[in-house]
Amino acid sequence: MGKNEMPAYACGTIEIAKAISESAAFSILGGGDTISFLQANGIAQGFNHLSTGGGAMLELLAQRTLPAIQAIEQSQKKYGIL
């Protein structure tokens, strides 16, 4: 899924995206190219959230935080906000 610029993979991307968008689960679609592809195929509207920041979204999922979020949290701790 996601390597939709190659026709051999586009069908798989569409079918998996359809299954996700039709499910009852909260669904998040990440990556500007993937969003554009699925919008062109009429599938993106079935997702609950669209994020053009695909790389940042993957980092957040893998690391459970992002550098900017860490900086804000450290600043809040430093100044007693948290």
All structural domains of the chain with their residue ranges: 7-78
* Band of pLDDT at residue 1, cut at 50, 70 and 90: low
- Residues 29-64 pLDDT 10s: 989 999 999 999 999 999 999 999 999 998 988 999
Sign of the C-alpha dihedral computed for residues 13, 15, 16 and 18 taken in this order: positive
- What contacts 2, CB < 8 A, 6 or more positions away? 9, 13, 31, 34
Backbone angles phi, psi at 50, to 5 degrees: -115, 130
Average pLDDT over residues 17-27: 96
DSSP 23: S
Across the chain, mean pLDDT equals: 91
| Spatial distance between the Cα atoms of 76 and 82, rounded to a whole number of angstroms | 5
pTM: 0.72
CA-nearest of 66, 17, 24, 82 to 45 is 17
